[in-house]
Structure 1
């Protein structure tokens, strides 16, 4: 079964039939190598042809061609934004509704942008709809989806932290991890959240419920969150780590603290 593929270690080793299926949107990528190998232009063309939306192709590809730097992420965002713009222009909600459950992970990434960057959706509604992507089984979709709403989270920090604090009790570890990862003060591949760099205590409503989380995936994110904060507010991080060790000296908490203090201990 293709679902259990481990994926090739280098792009040249990807079997031609697998690459063809990926570009047709029939299967999802098995690892980062395949994720980088997908021809998003071809995937887009195939998606649009399959859904009788071929007239959407040219304007989106023109936007891709105008990109100063074409990376997997910039192309991904440009396609997602292009699909949103054209669907809104053509009152084509029917097409947008098909994308979040598409077999291809990169199509689901585009779908996340059609929600996360939709200016007509209020923040609470965006986050409610993005939770489907936060829970996605694919690593790529989970990484892209928090980036799509990161600007909104930054602009509406209090409201975002309030909503996401409820996600920390979710039974899906991917959803819990989203609450932490999307609010990291420095983050990865994204703009920093200055308010959290200066006052990381604002994020405790997210971090406290996760300090002994059973999931290593969540633990890594919480440790990275605090490590981010240690670069601007080291005393705060040391204080929190000391407090957590006193109050919940579990192996989970100890793992998080080791990760949180790694920059300070260098």
Structure 2
């Protein structure tokens, strides 16, 4: 990610920086910049730079048809329509362009070309999204799990089996993806009812991460269990008791504290 710290408010973003962001020349440095990018302008610049301006009108029509235009709904509309246009035109070259683009929001759009593809198995979907799960930019990592979450929900048992192997990955971003993508309640996404009622089904993911050295992963595991505590409090209490006995490390203690924060209120 860009080493710039970024402005604290949208009005403080220098004009030149905003121009570069909207031109797709640099990555956003923080959430303020991420929210400030004009995605329609970025899209137009991207298409113009790659001689795909014929894609612009149908994508803008999808955005205009949105009931509510937010950063996330616009992001999804662009990514979904780009997927459809590339599929209809067999435009593999442009799919590659957006997947490896220097602008993080463009890579966010690319994740939808995986999540919206119903022609591939859950195994292939997760295999393709893994590249984005390891992205150095926070925005891409957050969007990528959201794009494949519906398919994870439809193929929960198989997804957990695959993701449980990712818990041993050396990349903390990939390990975090395993819990963030399966959180029972999650953020900005539909709940996983099966895991709200039967959180034990995800133990193959949770158990290997109970002593994870990364605070980034620890927070996600704690949030996962805090989600579960709202529907299955006894499961979470019992699991935390077991972990406390089996693994009295500072990492596990931190996770347990987060996991029980709602129950301990």
Q: What is the alpha-carbon distance in structure 2 between the residues aligned to residue 176 and residue 223 of structure 1?
A: 14
Q: Runs of at least 4 residues of structure 1 off by over 2 A?
A: none
Other-structure match for 2:163: 164
Q: What is the alpha-carbon distance in structure 2 between the residues aligned to residue 105 and residue 74 of structure 1?
A: 16
Indicate the SS of the match to 2:149: helix
Indicate the SS of the match to 2:2: helix
Q: What is the alpha-carbon distance in structure 2 between the residues aligned to residue 107 and residue 25 of structure 1?
A: 8
Q: What is the alpha-carbon distance in structure 1 between the residues aligned to residue 144 and residue 251 of structure 2?
A: 26
Q: What is the alpha-carbon distance in structure 1 between the residues aligned to residue 171 and residue 99 of structure 2?
A: 18
Find out whether 1:191 has 2:222 as its counterpart: no
Find out whether 1:230 has 2:254 as its counterpart: no
Other-structure match for 1:53: 52
Other-structure match for 2:13: 14
Q: TM-score, normalised by structure 2?
A: 0.99
Q: TM-score, normalised by structure 1?
A: 0.99
Q: What is the alpha-carbon distance in structure 2 between the residues aligned to residue 145 and residue 204 of structure 1?
A: 23
1:102-251 alignment, distance < 5 Å: 102-251=101-250
Q: What is the alpha-carbon distance in structure 2 between the residues aligned to residue 83 and residue 122 of structure 1?
A: 20
Q: What is the alpha-carbon distance in structure 1 between the residues aligned to residue 30 and residue 156 of structure 2?
A: 33
Cα offset, 1:99, TM superposition: 1.2
Other-structure match for 2:41: 42
Cα offset, 1:93, TM superposition: 1.1
Deviation per CA, 1:112-143: give whole Å up to 9, x if none: 00111111121111110101110001000000
* Structure 2: unaligned runs, 5 residues or longer: none
* Structure 1: unaligned runs, 5 residues or longer: none
* Deviates most, 92-101 or 46-55: 92-101
Find out whether 1:264 has 2:263 as its counterpart: yes
* Deviates most, 212-221 or 95-104: 95-104
Q: What is the alpha-carbon distance in structure 1 between the residues aligned to residue 2 and residue 33 of structure 2?
A: 13
Cα offset, 1:162, TM superposition: 0.4
Q: What is the alpha-carbon distance in structure 2 between the residues aligned to residue 141 and residue 229 of structure 1?
A: 26
Other-structure match for 1:77: 76
Cα offset, 1:29, TM superposition: 0.1
Aligned length: 265
Cα offset, 1:3, TM superposition: 2.6
How large is the RMSD of aligned CA atoms in angstroms? 0.8
